Structures are given as structure tokens and as C-alpha cells.
Amino acid sequence: MGFIKFSGSSLLLFLVFSLLLVNSTSDNDDDDDDDSASMAKLAATLNPLPWTWSTNSSSSYCEWHYVKCDSSKHVLEIDLQARTLSGSLPSQFPPFPFLQVLDLSKNKLTGSLPSLNKLPFLKRLYLNINNFTRIPPGFFQGLSSSLQLLMLGGNPFLSTWMIPLEFTKLGNLTAFSAYNTNLGGSIPDIFHSLALTNLSLHDNNLTGSLPLSFSRSQIKDLQLQNQKVGLTGTIDLLSNMTSLYSVNLGFNQFTGTIPDLSNCKSLELLDLSSNNLTGVFPPSLASHPSLVVIIVNDNKLQGPFPAYMFLHKFTTVENNNFCTNTADSCDSQNWSFVTCDSEKSITKISLQKQRLQGTISPSFADLTALRYLNLNDNNLTGPIPKSFVKLTNLEVLDVSNNNLSGIIPTFATSVKLITSGNDLLIPSRTKGNTSDFPPEGQKRGIIAGIVVGTIVGVIFCIFVGRRIITTIAKKGSEDEFRKDESCLELFSHNMLGKSQNGVKLQELHLLDFGKLATARNNFHPTNMLGKGGFGPVYKGKLQDGQEIAVKRLSRASGQGLEEFRNEAMVISRLQHRNLVRLLGCCVGGGYMSLEYVMKGQFSEKSDVFNFGVLTLEIVSGRRNSSFQDDEHSPTLLGYVSIS
């Protein structure tokens, strides 16, 4: 058996040869793991095929146009921007372990976005301005945590989607654009954990308010304009976004005031146009050191016109409510339910049927140009403010169908005051205003309540009073004349109160109705001497033979008890040889007719109504007869109704 003998030098050469062989093998493995296969697979999905590209695996891929490799032939960048590419990408994008930039923007690619979970070092991704239709589940989860820039904007055919919570894994992301991508829902409150400096989500379907995490973010450029429905709420948190240099929140539904942005030292552009912002234009914007462009047109900003803004800045402020000098009544020119004149002064406020509650604000009186104020058909309570009488231009005040109470202020005669449907309002007694008092029928409920509420308290008094009257009548039947009390004085005490002129007619006496009826043959027509305005006059004879004439007040007479008393007073004070002497008077049983209840007229059938009339007199503090002075005045019942 033979042996091979190696010298020392020969053994060393052998070891060196073995190491070289191993290195050669490693290099061959690297060649097998290059990006040629992935590049060929990607080329096969593109239409048209980019210039110099091939669908065959080739080691020359680093020489293709739009491809950038490192020294080890690892693909670092693929830039196919605006190459008129069409068709769809594979659901799984080929693996590129060292790819950092992928730009497929400004093409006509369709279908679903591919999964990019085999691009572990991707830093910048451009898929914007294409025709993609779908974002697959897990798309954001598969993105590299190294991603710094993500451009999805300008894909209007994407189905509705929302920013998922997986977005928070992109902790290194500094710029995110998803404008016009059919993005919906609210903006998630996740931005405090991101490194975002540029956020562009405009022209979408976002709703809700700005997330509070914005105020703790590093955002510099914020683009949220033109949401279809509109973002809502206030924009106060902008004052805490101190890194801002550009803000566009136009064409939304933001409300409230423009906050103080003096802490946003780098702010250069502010666009808040076409919202519902109110309040005075902040003076701090005029002195802002870096602000160049201010666009706040089509809001409801108030106060003095910011003419000083035009001296140093580009400013657009059209279609607001700026006044000439100070913030006053023109502030609400474009508000709902408010009408202004050409001088931007409020002339009409129409708040009818708005389910308003509470009391009417006296501040309405500060709107000196106000002509029409409609507050009808609400649930307002309390009084009509007295300050309203200061509205010298007021023409119509409609507060009907509320629950107002108190005394109606006295307005000028030129004011049409509509107050119907307020049962507790007390009309003003000063003439001049044109308040429409409700018809009697609308007040039946309150009349009934007043009567029922007082019936227990007065029934005993009425009972005692009637007993006294009955006793007096019985005493009168024993004597033809009463010597201790005059007729008209008793008449006035029981029916009219004290005589208004203070005259006491002690020479007149109360006569018994029954004996008068007997003396006149029960007022038989054959004894009637004639008929006047008060009623018929009968002749008769008393038991002592004295001939008398009796005038009886007719129920058909238009005269009342006041006129009857006045005639008796006049006749009793006149003395002439051609005038008969007035002996006395009589109340037949103390009755008051239904005509008395309504118009102060008498009959023998009103005992049923006596109690009700007296009750109303007690409640109102007015005598029924006091309403006969003016034929146009209301009756006792009508007075209680409108009171």
C-alpha cells in the first residue's frame, strides 16, 4: 500500500486551494440570489414593457432604464413614473430585499393594490394618480416599518375605505397623501404616535371633528379641504400645532372662531374659506411675523372690516358679515332666520315654530333697525320685555301661541302686536297699540278656572247677602214706604255701589213690588198709559187712594240700570209745577235677568245668574254696571276673558 507524502509547503498550498474553492462557491450562491428573477417577473406584468426591459432572466437588469442598483447588483430603486403603464399588478409584488424606492405613479394601473410585505427596506412608495380600485386587507400591515413616505392620492376609483389602526406601525412615516381616494369615516386619533409632518387627505368623505392628537403631532402641512359632507367642530386645536406652516381647511362645516395662531411662528398660509366660522377677525393675524396668505372668504366673520390686512399680506375675505366700523347688528347677515338690509342691519328675525323655550331676551331691543320680530308658535314663557317699546322701527311683533304672561307693554300705534294664544297675558289698558285680543271663546277655560277657584270662598258671603236682601224685602211688605233708608241708596248699595256723583236721595223710598203690582192690576195692558225708551208706564192707585204712575223697565229696553238710576236722580232733583213728584222705586224680588248678565238689562228671571255675575264682579274688581258708560266697551264677561 502506498502513501502520499506532502512536504510542509505542499500542505499549505492545499489549504489555500481549498479556501479559494469555498469562496468561489459562495460567489456563485450570490449570483443565484440576485434580483434577476424578480425583475423578470415584474417585467412580465407590465404593459407596455418599459424600454430596455426584458421578460427573460438576465444579469444585465441593473442596466435597464429606470432601475438603480448598488454595487452588489441589488435593486435599490424602480422608477416607472408616467410610463403609460396599464393593466394590474400581481397580488403579491415580487421580492426585492433591498428595494428602497418604488414609484408607479401617474400611470393607468387598475385592480387591487399589491401586497408589499416582501419589501422589508422600502422607504418611499408612490402609487398615486392611477386607477386602482381596491385596497386589500392587511395592506398597511404589510408595509415596511421603515416607510417614510406613502403616496396613494389621486385614485378616485378606490372603494370606500378608512384609515386602519394598523397605520400606527408606520412610526417613521413623515408624509402621507390619500387625497381623492374615497376615504371615509372619521380621522383616527393616532397622530401623537407618528412622525408625520405632511398630511394630505383633501377631497374625500371624511366626517367628524379634528382629532385631539393633532395638537401633539409634528404636522407642518395639513390639507383637509373639500370634504363632501364636511368636517365639523371647532378649529381651536390649531393654536397648539406650533409646527404648522401651511393649513387648508376650506369647504367644510367648521364652526366657532378663528383661534389665536401667534404661537404658530412658521405659519405662512392659512385657508379657512367656505366654513361657518364666526367672531371677530383676530388682530393677531395682522401682526403675525410669517403669515403671507390668508383666505377666509365665505364665512360668517364679524366685526370691523380688516382693511389693515391688505397692507402687508395677500388676503381674501369676501362674503362675510364685516361691518363698517364695529361689531353690531349686521353680524348675522347670512344666518338662518335673519334678514338684513343693504346697510347690513338686521331688519327681520323669523323664529316661528322653532320649539324655542325659556324667556324672550331683552337684547332684541338692541337691534335698533328691527322691523319684524316673529316668535310665534314656540314654548316661550315669561313677559314681553318692556325694552321692546324702544324699537322705534318695529312694525310687527308676533308672539302668538306661546305661554307668555304678565302685562303687555304699551307700544306705539304703528306696531301690530299679535298676542293670541297666550292665556296669561294681560293686555295693556293704554290705547294706541294694535294688539289683537283673542275672541271670547278662547278664554272659556280660564274663566271657568277663576269661577271654580273662587266659588268656595264666596258662596258663604253670597248666601248671607241674599238672606239680608230677603229680610229687607219682608220688612218692606209690612210698610208701604220705608222711612229709614232711601230707595236709590239701597239700590246703589245692593246693585251699583255708591253713587259716582256722591248724591244721596234720602227722600226716595223703597216700594214693595207686590203691592205695586196689585195697584196696577198686575200691570194689565188696560192700565198702560204709554211706552217710552225704558219701558211701559202704568197708572194705578195705592191702598190709601193716592193715584200714581209707574214706569217699568222693559227687558227689551236697550237701557241699563245705570240709566234707570240716573233718570230717577234727575227727576228727584227737579221741581216744577208741570212735573209729577217721584215717590220711590222698587226692585222686583231683587232679580237680575240674563240680559243684565251680558248687557246690564233686567227681567224677572235672572236669579239663576245672580250668583255667577256677583262672582265675576268679585274676581275682576269691577261692577257689571260700570261697562255701560261706553257702548263700545266690553261686557263684564268680556273683560274677564281678555284679562
Please answer whether residues 152 and 172 qualify as being in contact, where contact means their C-beta atoms are separated by less than 8 angstroms. Answer: no
Residue written as cell 393677531? 284
Please give the pLDDT value at position 505.
46
Predicted structure pTM score: 0.51
| Banded pLDDT at 622 (limits 50, 70, 90) | low
Q: Which of 386, 413, 438 is the last residue of a domain?
A: 438
3-state secondary structure of 45: coil
- Residue 238 and residue 336 share a domain: no
| Confidence check: pLDDT of 597 > 80 | no
Please give the Cα distance from 160 to 178 (Å, whole number). 12
Query: Which pLDDT belongs to residue 543?
Result: 72
Q: Say yes or no to pLDDT of 621 above 90.
A: no
Least trusted range by pLDDT, from 131-135, 139-143, 445-449: 445-449
Three-class SS state of 506: coil
Which of 66-75, 227-236, 512-521, 545-554 is least confident? 512-521
* Predicted local confidence at residue 559, as pLDDT: 55
Q: Tell me, what's the pLDDT at 62?
A: 94
- pLDDT number for residue 59: 79
Given pLDDT bands bounded at 50, 70 and 90, which one contains residue 113?
very high
Q: Are residues 357 and 279 in the same domain?
A: no
Last residue of a domain, one of 249, 269, 285: 285
Q: What percentage of the chain carries pLDDT values higher than 90?
A: 45
Confidence of residue 613 (pLDDT cuts 50, 70, 90): low
625 — pLDDT class (breaks 50, 70, 90): low
Residues 622 and 524 in one domain: yes
Does residue 170 carry a pLDDT above 90? Answer: yes
Average pLDDT for 444-470: 50
Residues paired with 87 in a beta bridge: 109
Question: Which of the given ranges, 183-197, 283-297, 549-563, 619-633, has the highest pLDDT on average?
Answer: 183-197
Residues 74 and 97 in one domain: yes
421 and 483 belong to one structural domain: no
pLDDT of residue 476: 47
Please compute the mean of the pLDDT values over residues 172-184 and round it to a whole number: 98
Question: Residue 478 maps to which CATH number?
Answer: 3.30.200.20
| Domain match, 242 and 356 both | no
- Mean pLDDT over 18-32 rounds to 40
Alpha-carbon distances, residue 188 vs 179, 200, 546, 576 (angstroms):
16, 14, 112, 108
pLDDT of residue 329: 47
- 115 is a domain residue: yes
Q: Are residues 620 and 496 part of one domain?
A: yes
> Which CATH number characterizes residue 430's domain?
3.80.10.10
Q: Which residue has the higher pLDDT, 195 or 564?
A: 195
Q: Are 532 and 520 in contact (CB under 8 A)?
A: no
What is the domain extent for residue 547?
Answer: 446-642
Q: Is 312 within the bounds of a domain?
A: no
Confidence of residue 191 (pLDDT cuts 50, 70, 90): very high
Q: Are residues 408 and 467 in the same domain?
A: no
Residue 15 lies in a domain: no
CB 161 within 8 A of CB 138: no
Q: Which residue has the higher pLDDT, 305 or 108?
A: 108
CB within 8 Å of 236: residues ≥ 6 apart: 256, 259
In terms of average pLDDT, the best of 457-466, 564-573, 630-639 is: 564-573
Burial 337-370 (b: 16+ CB within 10 A, else e): ebebeeebbbbbbbbbeeeeeeebeeebbebebb
Q: Which of 122-136, 321-335, 395-409, 556-570 shows the lowest per-residue confidence on average (mean pLDDT)?
A: 321-335
Q: Is residue 596 scored above 60 in pLDDT?
A: no
Please report, for residues 13, 78, 117, 325, 477, the alpha-carbon distance to residue 34 in angstroms, rounded to integers and kept in the order given.
32, 15, 19, 75, 141
Report whether pLDDT(468) > 90. no
Q: Considering its fold, how many domains does the chain have in total?
A: 3
Q: Are residues 456 and 430 in the same domain?
A: no
Binning pLDDT at 50, 70 and 90, where does residue 282 land?
A: confident
For residues 255-283, average pLDDT: 92
pLDDT of 626 over the 80 cut: no
Overall average pLDDT of the 196-211 stretch: 98
144-153, 601-610, 630-639: which is most confident = 144-153
30 is a domain residue: no
DSSP 366-407: G-TT--EEE--SSEEEEPPPGGGGG-TT--EEE--SSEEEEE
Domain-embedded: residue 344 = yes
How much is the pLDDT for 280?
83
DSSP letter for each residue of 206-268: EESPPPGGGGGS--SEEE----SS---S--GGGGG-TT-SEEE--SS--EE-PPP-TT-TT--
Q: How far is CA 343 from the centre of its chain?
A: 25
Do 214 and 234 touch, CB atoms closer than 8 A?
no
- Tell whether the model's pLDDT for residue 560 goes beyond 60: no
Q: What is the pLDDT of residue 639?
A: 60
Q: Is residue 398 part of a domain?
A: yes
Q: Look at residue 316 and tell me whether its pLDDT is greater than 90.
A: no
Residue 578 lies in a domain: yes
What is the Cα–Cα distance from 18 to 193, expressed in whole angstroms?
A: 54
Task: State how far the Cα of 299 lies from the Cα of 207, in Å rounded to an integer.
Answer: 19
Does residue 482 carry a pLDDT above 90? no
> By mean pLDDT, which of 21-25, 35-39, 408-412, 570-574 is the weakest?
21-25
Higher pLDDT, 328 or 410: 410
Higher pLDDT, 162 or 486: 162
Q: How far is CA 498 from CA 126, 494, 501, 637, in A?
A: 104, 9, 9, 22
**Is-contact 511 540, C-beta < 8 A?**
no
Q: Which residue has the higher pLDDT, 30 or 365?
A: 365
Domain finish residue from 438, 465, 486: 438
Quick one: pLDDT at residue 546? 72
Residue 25 within any structural domain of the chain: no
Q: How long is the chain? A: 643
Do residues 415 and 451 both lie within one domain? no
Mean pLDDT value of segment 509-533: 66
More confident residue, 361 or 231: 231
Tell whether the model's pLDDT for residue 109 goes beyond 80: yes
Work out the average pLDDT over 294-322: 73
Q: What is the mean pLDDT of residues 188-193?
A: 94
The rounded distance, in Å, linking the Cα atoms of 114 and 105 is 14
Same domain, 120 and 252: yes
Distance CA 482, CA 478 (A): 9
Confidence of residue 436 (pLDDT cuts 50, 70, 90): low
State residue 595's pLDDT score: 38
Looking at every residue in the chain, the average pLDDT score rounds to 76
Same domain, 567 and 585: yes
Question: Could you count the other beta carbons within 10 Å of the beta carbon of residue 543?
Answer: 9
